[in-house]
Copies of this chain bind each other. A is one copy, B any other.
Amino acid sequence: MTSDRFITFTSSPVPRMATWDLDDVITALSEPRRQSFQSWSPERTHVPLPSREVLLRIVNLLRAALFPFHFGNPDLGETSTRYFVGHTLNEALQLLEEQIRREQYLIQPECQWQEQQIKAQARATVQAFAQQLPQFKTLLESDVVAAYRGDPAAKNLDEVLFCYPGITAITYHRIAHALYCLHSSLLARMIAEIGHSITGIDIHPGASIGQGFFIDHGTGVVIGETTIIGDRVRIYQAVTLGAKSFPRDESGSLVKGHARHPVIEDDVVIYSGATILGRVTIGQAATIGGNVWLTRSVPPGAFVSQAQVREEIFDAGAGI
């Protein structure tokens, strides 16, 4: 069939230079069993994992539902607000339910795939979460007012809500903390870490924080898992509320979950760079000066400066 002599069909390329041979690399990377994890349990791992991208989307949807004029649709009219909020919330909660289900599958200890139970539990968790949203809005508004009152550079509430990283951080935290309390601690941590990446403010979702909380500038702030913070507390950049030491059990493993971070009572102010370590209590309306290093409790109304804590440092300097 000579007429086909010039038929050409591009289905097998001959590359211009030697292609890389990745087969070995791919095989190594696809190797299912990681020998380094001797306790790896295959039964627990065949479920889809939560997704950071989806969690980011969930938080953005929740913010839009909480503050539709600032983070939703700026052209909303009176009537459409309700539909916008309802629709946005529905989307957020549907996505959240699926992520909660994924976490539940992952952490079930005995691999009994009681699918209906897990679904019902995820549904109940989302319900409980949703009921708290109006309270979130009130709390976040108290945070916005606190920032406005606490910073001479703040021009109006809109600026605070739009611009202050402390507001972003506390928004992420309040969402993450609610999930933490509802036993979705992995999702809570993932959400907290997104907030940390955006703001440089690292608040563990376990921390309990009252209303009217204000962090100014914020980069470098660290607030630990068992911290308790009262109402109207003000904190500046690079403040650490940390643990003093990590007890280990007889096998040498860290003891997890015990109360090891400070209690900050109402109306306390902590200036930039201060470090407070251990389960100590900073009494109501106390002020902690910049760069102070503290490992003991402070009475209400006290004013602690670097000079005052110097001896303590000399004595207990290794207080880490």
Cβ < 8 Å to B, chain A residues 40-59? 40-52
Chain B residues with CB below 8 A from A165, complex form: 193, 196-197, 202
Q: Are B303 and A308 in contact (CB under 8 A)?
A: no
CB distance from A300 to the nearest CB of B (A): 17
Q: For the complex, what is the distance from the CA of A27 to the CA of B131, rounded to whole Å?
A: 12
In the complex with contacts A163-B193, A293-B306, A219-B206 CB distance below 8 A: no
Q: For the complex, what is the distance from the CA of A219 to the CA of B218, rounded to whole Å?
A: 11
Chain B residues with CB below 8 A from A131, complex form: 25
Cβ < 8 Å to B, chain A residues 6-65? 6-23, 25-30, 32-34, 36-52, 65
Q: Are A320 and B271 in contact (CB under 8 A)?
A: yes
Kindly state whether residue A106 has any CB partner on chain B within 8 Å.
yes
Kindly state whether residue A85 has any CB partner on chain B within 8 Å.
yes
Kindly state whether residue A238 has any CB partner on chain B within 8 Å.
yes
Contact with B along A123-167 (1 / 0, CB 8 A): 100110011011001100110110011111111111101111100
Q: For the complex, what is the distance from the CA of A100 to the CA of B83, rounded to whole Å?
A: 23
Chain B residues with CB below 8 A from A253, complex form: 3, 149
- A: number of interface residues (CB 8 Å): 168
Chain B residues with CB below 8 A from A16, complex form: 46
CB distance from A206 to the nearest CB of B (A): 7
CB nearest neighbor in B for A189: B163
Q: Are B303 and A22 in contact (CB under 8 A)?
A: no
Chain B residues with CB below 8 A from A69, complex form: 10-11, 13, 45, 49
Contact with B along A64-93 (1 / 0, CB 8 A): 011111100011111111111111111001
Q: For the complex, what is the distance from the CA of A126 to the CA of B37, rounded to whole Å?
A: 30
Q: Are A86 and B42 in contact (CB under 8 A)?
A: no
Contact check: which of B52, B94, B134 meets A162 at CB < 8 Å? B52
In the complex with contacts A83-B90, A222-B237, A290-B314 CB distance below 8 A: no
Q: For the complex, what is the distance from the CA of A126 to the CA of B94, rounded to whole Å?
A: 28
Kindly state whether residue A4 has any CB partner on chain B within 8 Å.
yes
In the complex with contacts A36-B145, A152-B254, A86-B89 CB distance below 8 A: no
CB nearest neighbor in B for A186: B159
Q: For the complex, what is the distance from the CA of A52 to the CA of B277, rounded to whole Å?
A: 37
Chain B residues with CB below 8 A from A86, complex form: 22, 26, 30, 80, 82-83, 86-87
Q: For the complex, what is the distance from the CA of A125 to the CA of B238, rounded to whole Å?
A: 37
Q: Are A66 and B29 in contact (CB under 8 A)?
A: yes
Chain B residues with CB below 8 A from A79, complex form: 19-23, 90
Chain B residues with CB below 8 A from A110, complex form: none
Chain B residues with CB below 8 A from A40, complex form: 7-9, 11-12
Q: For the complex, what is the distance from the CA of A107 to the CA of B162, rounded to whole Å?
A: 15
Nearest first, the 4 closest Cβ-Cβ pairs linking A and B are A83-B86, A305-B318, A307-B317, A12-B32
Cβ contacts A to B, 15 pairs, < 8 Å: A3-B251, A6-B39, A7-B37, A10-B106, A17-B119, A25-B130, A26-B82, A28-B134, A32-B78, A82-B86, A149-B254, A158-B186, A164-B193, A165-B197, A289-B320
